[in-house]
Amino acid sequence: MLQADHPAAVPDTATEVPDRLLHDVVDRTPLRDRPAHGIAVGILAGFDGDGTALVDIAAFGLTGVRARSVAALDAAQLGQQVALGFEAADPGRPIVLGLMLAAPPAAPARAQAEALVDGEKVVLTASHEIELRCGEAAIVLSADGRVQIRGTYITSHASATQRILGGSVNVN
């Protein structure tokens, strides 16, 4: 271990060198110049013998720094970016706050057509098109007023008058 009363003491193990270097960098770096006011981005580089996370901090030029973690970390996450915080009482030992997202979260999906049910009537509303589909059958309502009914067999029954009206009516 480093001797507290002698700053030039030689560390007992190689893992303490990056820790001491981080202390030195943090001590020399004015508070206003620290990345994101105490937050840095590092890489999860590995784990030491007792399972403590080892991180690389490119902003400080350090590798293999021992870090505590508030997030569960495992070997599947090696190489991923992590958000690192620094405790005021121990700025030389970073705390892994969590994994950085690989990409910004996807924009939320546009809202699906809303179905309002009042017990007697169902209203489906969409800005461009509504399609009801079951197997090979479909009914498509378009915003421009088109109505398409598609299917293998289409049967129309009426118990009273059945009218077909249109600007022109084509049968076959």
Rounded average pLDDT over 9-32? 56
Q: Identify the pLDDT of residue 9.
A: 45
pLDDT of residue 11: 46
Q: Is the pLDDT of residue 36 over 60?
A: no
Domain with 79 in it: 16-99
pLDDT of 107 over the 70 cut = no
- CATH number, domain of 62, equals 2.40.50
Q: What is the pLDDT at residue 141?
A: 92
Looking at the predicted structure, is the pLDDT value of residue 157 above 70? yes
In a domain, 137, yes or no: yes
Residue 149 above 80 pLDDT? Answer: yes
Across the range 40-50, mean pLDDT stands at 90
pTM for this entry: 0.42
Could you tell me what percent of the chain has a pLDDT over 70? 66
CA pair distance 16, 11, nearest whole angstrom: 6
Contact of 34 with 22, CB cutoff 8 Å = no
pLDDT the model gives residue 53: 92
Residue 22 and residue 91 in one domain: yes
Burial (CB < 10 A; 0-12, 13-18, 19+), residue 96, is buried
Q: Are residues 69 and 121 in the same domain?
A: no
Asked whether residue 62 is assigned to any structural domain, the reply reads: yes
Is there a domain that residue 52 lies in? yes
64, 78 in Cβ contact below 8 A? no
> Cα separation of 149 and 163, whole Å?
17
In a domain, 106, yes or no: no
Count of domains for the chain: 2
